[in-house]
A and B are shown apart, each in its own frame.
Chain A
Amino acid sequence: MPKLDFEVITLGHGSGGLLTHRLLESGVFELLKNEQLDRRHDGALLHLQGPTAFTTDSFVISPIFFPGGNIGELAVNGTVNDLAMCGAIPRFLSLSFIIEEGLRMEEFWDIVVAIKFAAEAAGVKIVTGDTKVVERGKGDKIFVNTTGIGTLHPRAKIDLGRVGVGDKIIVSGNVATHGIAIMSVREGLEFETTIESDTQPLHHLVTALLDRFGPDVHLLRDPTRGGLGTVLTEIAREVGQGIELHQRDLPIDEQVRGACEILGLDPLYVANEGIFIGIVAEGVAEEVVAELRGLPGGAEAAIIGEVVAAHPRQVILTSAIGGKRVVNMLVGEQLPRIC
């Protein structure tokens, strides 16, 4: 952390004047250094070729520090993963902060450092940005927005229209880990070992799949808010086909499963960060899973279901004991139950 004569961020740091200058020059620019950022333009000049993916996301998580990460890496990985889900290789990010006055400089610095490392790990450059400070009580410590640009993988043909009956549904890792990690901190729950968020960039897994299987990868989605259940229901409705899920095949960490039981939450509706859903051609499904399992971050990958012609627009889950039930979209927030 650079030597500074202020310990907390105040309104003045967002004024655009001297304090803003000192906040950024104090090390943020140095830390995130790259050719475009160094030019200090009002915007970045980029050279892009071919089809380009473009996405944006805002991060308003509480607490901003949690086991396994902080809001900074979440902001990088979230947008990197949205690009990856389009079949794109992430290249550039913008980065905007809305800071509530009173945020400790030390916390801000930890977030920026996390952003630096996450961007490096994902192979993206932060090329433009903004900092605003709002009065105390008008924010929640810090909000981060990132917008991302990526170039399409040459073999990517990801499109809802390509999802067809017989396709297999794959998840790249354990479900519900991130949401439960956050909730354990919020609720002050302690387990034998700390449940850590699985936030990670997914583009390397996606790139490996596209390199090898190309157009056999029909659709990719990251089941963040609303969880697996909501995202799969959306897909079923959008493509007009049915989806069948097998509860016994859903990969989930034992401790996360235990936490879900205690908190009265259904893991199908808990938020994820470090996993994606892939819908792939039936013939390559086993190989896709084997490929993912051989890569870092994909060890728990599994086939969890398939696209079917029966019950169009509905997701039906076969429970562990063989009963069937519908999986619906989450109505509002999932609230803990009394008993």
Chain B
Amino acid sequence: MSATKRGWTLSMTALTALALTACAPTPAPGGGSDAVATTITELDYYADEQGSAAWQKILDACSKQTGITIERQTVPTAQMLPKVLQGASSKTLPHLLFTDNPTLQQVAATGALTPLTDYGIATDGYYESIIKAGTYQDKVYGLAPGVNGLALMYNKDLLTAAGVQPPTTWDELKAAATKLSGSGKYGLAFSALPSEEGTWQFLPFFWSNGADLAQLDSAKSAEALKYVTDLVNSGAASKSVVNWSQNDVADQFVAGNAAMMVNGSWNLARLDAEKALKYGVVPIPVPKAGGKPTVALGGEVGAIPATGGGTQQAAGKVLSCILTEPTMVEWSKAHAYVPSKVDVAKKFGEQIPAMQAFIDEVGTARSRTAELGEKYPKVSAALAAALQSTLTGQQPAEQALAQAQQASGS
């Protein structure tokens, strides 16, 4: 049934695409009606209750400040890119778009976005990595008010009971996770889904070990994959990691089934809501003592699609408001993000010590698309497939990675 449904969606989008190919390309900024519009549409994927409410507050504040009414649409994360593509083909793109930063270059590559310099939005003071994530062919198309990254969260009670210190290196992590495992409980939980989510969770191990996305079959890469596989095979992490999303991982942690988890800062609000749970946060352990972890930079960037002069200018005003320092701090507080400007983040860390581990990591975080650009999704899919293949014992690490390198190169 759903094969037909899929065919349907495709065909219906194709239908609109065909019907509209005759239309002239959308006017560049400044073209069309020049009067600034009073209403714009905005699309995001903050679909969870807490995140959605927090984002709504930001939009309301900026709506009040600019006098522009914002009609908000929210879709589940997985529906984001299909929705944008549909909008692109039917020329009904939202006026303001907040999308996951590794997808930005892909959207920009379609030609549907406008450079932020058109609206007088400067890039001074931002983390270098977030600017890179928003840049396509030397122009900045997207900027984020806040960014995030992965860290190691641990259950203080369980670690104290076992007499284990929060780990800082791979060896310590393995020893701690092994000690904390047993009788249906596991020391560590992480997500290894065959999707971007799985790649994103593996990258801190991959990059911190010095591996490179352009060379998936390197020795460093195999070493990282073997390390993660070993955690699962030795019983320090559940074999179910291949089916767990990051939300499932958080569920396991909250339920006390996992003593530690690899997860993002956006979970902190949820963990705080669990009164009985005492948790701590440390950076992701590194291969050797003294090293610095390299996590992938997360977070959503705001972009302005080419929809006509008036609405683009209005969207520009709203985005400028969202990127001001007070809004940045408010959003970061509400959703446990790290402000995307270096100075603001520093002050933020002094105010909220629980975020310090994340702020430290963002300093060395890497943009997933900086090096590979729009080729990244293909490489990411290949790497996630290798991860699954090795974790389930289908292929040894080297073989799986060699195949991934081949798949990502073609």
Same assembly? no
